[in-house]
Structure 1
Amino acid sequence: MANPIRVDIVSDVVCPWCIVGYSQLKRASEETGIPLEIQWHPFELNPQMPSEGQNLREHIMEKYGSSAADSQAARDRLTDLGADLGFTFAFTDDMRMVNTFRAHQLIHWADEHGKGHAAKQALFTAYFTERRDLNDPEVLADVAESLGLSREEALKMLESETLAQTVRQVEQFWLQQGISGVPAMVFERQNLVTGAQGEANYANILRHLAEAPAA
């Protein structure tokens, strides 16, 4: 079996293209038989988002200058892409964009318990499929519990913000590397690929790296 390809993925859990890109990468890995070693890193699309959040469509139109029709077309496209990849986007008119700093703290904490990847996937589902508020500590504690982690310890960590500074430092590191949009994937710690590239492109990248001579 080929050695795993290391992929550092900088992303946010409210970024639809992040779960699309990862799902395409995962499928490319399965099709090529080239295993992956995934490490997730935090990025906040909206670090200034207030605790009450904002209507998602209103937020997208305001941030990107798109129309309601543009927004709906993007949702339809994402829904179809997700269905093809086995992920359910369940957009609604009252869906809200939320602050994700607490969610990133939960992922970091879960990663310390060997469940970081599972936490990331569970949070994508909680937001896009179940439309849950990822800024709500109770929701995040539910996610932790679903992964077999301590709900009580998760709440305590979120309340005390013991990992807040650590997560801020990691976010700052990636910003200093020039990451300004997500998903941003760094293959083998040196090859940066941004955006959701599609299964074929990811498969080509994996094959190229797998065939490259060892340094």
Structure 2
Amino acid sequence: MFDPFTHDDGRANTHLMWKSGKREQVFKGPIFDICTVQRTSSDGRSATFIEVDCPKWVTIIPWFRNDDGVPMFVMVDQFRHGSATVTREFPAGVVEKGEDPMDAGLRELKEETGLEGTRVTALGDVSPNSAFMNNRSYFYLVEHVKHTSGQELDPNEQLEVLSIPVQTVIDRMGTGIYDNGIMMIALGYFLREARKRPELVTIR
């Protein structure tokens, strides 16, 4: 019987790995493809699984301090067709094939907001849904952002740019309009960085 109180977190888990076999594309779409993958467990079980072949994704956290010394985020409000709702998010988008994730993030930031920053910190990357998606999602903090141009939106892109106090976002993330799960991950990465650099969240 499994006992979570005695489980060794450092124990090797290689016995849980499945070996991949034949992979076949069964659907090709404009955003993602769907593949079937044959896999075999370490104890000999074999099955066919669905894998969603998605592009890499990048999220940029734009940060600045306003004239009153309050740390601020730049965020965007936009209609999301998956949830059919307006959500408030950090600038984000697809990493094009062959594109560096950081370059893609800075491109998305400028296109969506017209902003550029003076310091870029790579916060980390994760699998957004390892149950069936095979992509990675990357996160960057861009500090001291300033306007250098206007927006360069796609034909069907419509969004509003806002500056929000960091503490407000911390308090509200995961509620109401702050409904995008990837943004929760982004905020978690930011808070980990802020533990090392408290000035990111403190008022001067």
Structure 1 and Structure 2 fold alike (TM over 0.5)? no
Q: TM-score, normalised by structure 2?
A: 0.27
Decide which structure has the larger Cα Rg and report it: 2
- Higher share of residues assigned strand: 2
Which is bigger in relative contact order (C-alpha 8 A, separation at least 6)? 1
TM value normalised by structure 1: 0.26
